[in-house]
Structure 1
Amino acid sequence: MNVEAVFIDRDGTIGGTGHFIHPKDFNLYPFSKTALEVLKDNNIKTFACTNQNRISRGQATIDDFYNEFIAYGFDDAFICPHSPNDDCDCRKPKPGLLLEAAKKYNLDLSNTVFIGDVGSTDMLAAHSVGAMKILVRTGWGQSSLDKYRDTWVGIEPDYIAENLLEAVNWIVKLGTADKKQ
């Protein structure tokens, strides 16, 4: 697979607890910066893809999140600021953010990967556009696999990783194996 880009969820995937933490107080997991650097070293575009409904409540701004992602080394960030009650097309599990990125960067979404910790949002959004799906066990990942598995029944991740770095290493290894064939 020629991976054009990797979409990465924020809360519970690159850091934090899975719950809202304002960008000024957010901490990456110790391995997240390395994972992003590995993608860069392999010329794979990285895009943050996140629901942040606290923006609609005035608790943060899109710029707060966007600037955070750029500071971490992401190429771009696609952020849904709407509340769960809004009928928007961009709130995961809807594919609006992924479609926006595809249009902006001329991506074939079947050549992209989505890494996230929530089956009912991240994995469903990725599945709806034909992207490869990697679920990490950090954040809500483990409970997505057992306690909340009924919320995304019928969808299987392509890979289950302990964390973001393991997911990224799997992507790179997959790409390297394809080039040897």
Structure 2
Amino acid sequence: MNKAIFWDLLGTLGGSSHTLINNNFEFFDHAIPALQKATENNYLNIIITNQSHIAHNRLTLEEYNDSLKKLIIRLEDKGIKITEVYTCPHAKKDNCQCKKPQPLLVNQAIKKYDLNQNESFIIGDSGKNDMLLANNSNMKSILVLTGEGIKSLTDSRQLWSEMRPTHIAEDSLDAVNKIVLFL
């Protein structure tokens, strides 16, 4: 069986939806070393992201895919392989099954890549999306304090109060260090 890290994209690895829409997404300084360290420790890097701005016509699916291809090429140039990117393009009102925190996309990846859930992690900055996704997928979670991370622990904690992340990390590199060193 394989092990994976499911990465949230926006707020965890870099940028915001505005930077993705404007095609100027930048990775946080800690993101590249984090992805490299995950790769070096035999984790599959899988990105799982909600992109409702596609449903809201702020970005076309084609524009999103073009931006994504550029991001993946930048990572490949640094020796980082992204196994797959799972994207939900729907609006919340669509009530789809692929939007985080629903586990559909994680479950598809578990089957497709023969993943061991006990050795895999979900890392993200949103309690109501990423941490609940981990809970719904029976996986370990690490909440990073970048992006919406601090807000997830304060202003919006009530939205996911029924669970706790496995760990809290300063950023994506700190999260991978916790996985490699302590877990």
Question: TM over 0.5: same fold?
Answer: yes
Deviation, 1:154, is: 1.8
Gaps of 5+ in 1: 176-181
Q: 8 Å contact 1:119–1:152 — kept in the other structure?
A: yes
Deviations 1:12-35 (CA, angstroms, capped at 9, x unpaired): 100114x44326211110111111
**Which residue is 1:146 aligned to?**
154
**Which residue is 2:143 aligned to?**
135
Q: 8 Å contact 1:5–1:112 — kept in the other structure?
A: yes
TM-score normalised by length of structure 1: 0.88
Q: 8 Å contact 1:112–1:132 — kept in the other structure?
A: yes
Q: Cα RMSD over matched residues?
A: 1.8
Share of identical aligned residues, percent? 35
* Counterpart-to-counterpart distance in 2, 1:126 and 1:84: 19
Q: 8 Å contact 1:13–1:117 — kept in the other structure?
A: yes
Q: Secondary structure at the match of 2:10?
A: coil
CA 1:8–1:29 in structure 2 vs 1: closer, same or farther (change >3 Å)?
same
Give the aligned residue type for 1:32. Answer: A
Give the aligned residue type for 1:155. Answer: M
Aligned residues: 173
Q: 8 Å contact 2:98–2:104 — kept in the other structure?
A: yes
CA 1:116–1:154 in structure 2 vs 1: closer, same or farther (change >3 Å)?
same
Q: Counterparts of 1:8-27 in structure 2 under 5 Å?
A: 8-17=7-16, 19-22=17-20, 24-27=23-26
Gaps of 5+ in 2: none
CA 1:47–1:68 in structure 2 vs 1: closer, same or farther (change >3 Å)?
farther
Q: Secondary structure at the match of 2:19?
A: coil
**Which residue is 1:48 aligned to?**
47
Give the aligned residue type for 1:97. Answer: L
CA 1:93–1:172 in structure 2 vs 1: closer, same or farther (change >3 Å)?
same
- Give the ranges of 4+ consecutive aligned residues of structure 1 lying more than 6 Å apart after TM superposition: none
